[in-house]
């Protein structure tokens, strides 16, 4: 039996300031809306390069995810409420594991088709005051998904939403995400997905590029919004040299490449460093160090700099540096 549920909440968004950016993620409830090929009437997108369009007309999210997110991020549990992921359809029970690319879905008088997984960006980090939330939802299949509209119509709160056709039962949203972010070197899967007719053209292009170049994308900027940091210093301007970081507690050694922040290098090696760069809370990532540091932050006092550094913008003056993450 194909999944079915109901529209618990129907939401639209207006563009407005959102910390240092603009966004329509903060959506409000409505009783009904007309849905056309470009989405719900009255729903706006601030960034029309990465949001909106025929393959991203409507966003749906499983409201059951919120309880799991409250457990994973207890400090922000009060923020995980229906609609807080910017979804248009608040629905319970349909999720990334039981919904497939190409599914034909009826809701109200409209007919939709599942086109692609949502690719979460750093604005979720802003919304929940958590530096890792976008990465967590991407890695754990809790992103939601986007529809294209096959037949325009009226959608109302309380309408039944159900899958009526499933031409590609093997292609769940979670499977596509697994190939995008986890099993990235599976060329056979990339070939299959690059030619999957209902998959959004932008996602198919990612798999096609992997086939042609044998290169896997770096999602760091989308996930952490590194270029949106508030310290007014970019790595490119620093032209820093590579250096080696030793973790005092474990002895682990990590190379920080040139033109890469230490924060990103630590994260790419599986280390968790609390950071507020993505949410505007400067100084949250400060760590103890032993060595000679080129301080580039604008938040630490001279006295604090004797013990602490900010790995988001500062780096080692010499070839080696020891840090403590405890």
Domain pair 4-174 / 229-324, same fold: no
Mean pLDDT of the chain: 87
Distance set, CA 88 to CA 15, 49, 305 (Å): 14, 19, 46
Q: What percent of the chain has pLDDT over 90?
A: 61
| Contact present, 324 and 288 (Cβ < 8 Å) | yes
β-pair partners for 304: none
Q: Does 315 score more than 60 pLDDT?
A: yes
Per the model's pLDDT, the better-predicted residue between 121 and 276 turns out to be 121
Supply the pLDDT for residue 237: 37
Model confidence, pTM: 0.69
Name which CATH class applies to 4-174.
Answer: mainly beta
Q: Does 159 score more than 90 pLDDT?
A: yes
Question: What band does 255 get if pLDDT is binned at 50, 70 and 90?
Answer: very high
Supply the pLDDT for residue 322: 96
Domain boundaries, the chain: 4-174, 229-324
What is the CATH topology of the domain spanning 229-324? Ubiquitin-like (UB roll) (3.10.20)
Residue carrying the six token digits 């618990």: 8
Q: Which of 243, 248, 245, 244 is nearest to 325 (CA)?
A: 248
List, for residues 130-157, the tens digit of each pLDDT value: 888 999 999 999 999 999 999 999 999 9
Q: Does 90 score more than 60 pLDDT?
A: yes
Per the model's pLDDT, the better-predicted residue between 180 and 75 turns out to be 180
| Contact present, 278 and 125 (Cβ < 8 Å) | yes
Please give the backbone phi and psi of residue 58, each rounded to the nearest 5 degrees, phi first: -140, 135
Question: What band does 52 get if pLDDT is binned at 50, 70 and 90?
Answer: confident
Q: What letters, b where the CB count within 10 A reaches 16 and e where it falls short, cover 272-296?
A: ebebbbbbeebbbbbbebebebebb
DSSP 106: E
Distance (Å, whole) CA 260 – CA 313: 9
Highest mean pLDDT of the ranges 37-46, 109-118, 282-291: 109-118
Distance (Å, whole) CA 207 – CA 42: 33
| First-to-final CA distance of the chain | 50
Residue carrying the six token digits 């932008």: 202
DSSP 312: T
Distance (Å, whole) CA 277 – CA 286: 11
């Amino acid at each position: 039996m194909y999944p079915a549920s109901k529209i618990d909440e129907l939401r639209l968004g207006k563009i407005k300031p959102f910390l240092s950016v603009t966004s329509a993620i903060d959506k409000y409830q409505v009783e009904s809306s007309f849905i056309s090929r470009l989405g719900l009437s009255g729903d706006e997108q601030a960034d029309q390069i990465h949001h909106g369009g025929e393959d991203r007309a409507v966003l749906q999210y499983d409201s059951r995810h919120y309880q799991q997110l409250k457990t994973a991020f207890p400090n922000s549990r009060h923020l995980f409420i229906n609609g807080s992921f910017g979804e248009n359809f608040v629905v319970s029970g349909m999720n990334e594991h039981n919904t497939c690319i190409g599914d034909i879905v009826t809701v109200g008088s409209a007919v939709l088709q599942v086109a692609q997984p949502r690719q979460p960006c750093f604005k979720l980090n802003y919304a929940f005051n958590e530096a890792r939330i976008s990465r967590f939802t991407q890695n754990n299949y809790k992103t939601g998904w986007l529809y294209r509209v096959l037949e325009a119509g009226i959608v109302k709160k309380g309408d039944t939403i159900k899958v009526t056709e499933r031409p590609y039962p093997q292609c769940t949203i979670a499977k596509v995400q697994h190939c995008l972010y986890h099993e990235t070197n599976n060329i056979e899967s990339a070939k299959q997905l690059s030619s999957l007719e209902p998959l959004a053209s932008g996602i198919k292009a990612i798999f096609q590029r992997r086939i042609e170049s044998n290169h896997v994308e770096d999602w760091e900027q989308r996930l952490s919004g590194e270029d949106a940091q508030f310290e007014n210093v970019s790595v490119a301007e620093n032209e820093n040299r590579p250096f080696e970081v030793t973790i005092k507690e474990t002895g682990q050694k990590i190379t920080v490449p040139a033109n890469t922040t230490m924060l990103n290098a630590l994260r790419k090696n599986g280390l968790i460093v609390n950071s507020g760069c993505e949410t505007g809370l400067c100084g949250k990532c400060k760590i103890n160090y032993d060595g000679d540091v080129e301080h580039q932050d604008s938040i630490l006092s001279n006295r604090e700099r004797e013990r602490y550094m900010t790995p988001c913008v500062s780096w080692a003056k010499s070839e080696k540096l020891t840090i403590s993450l405890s």
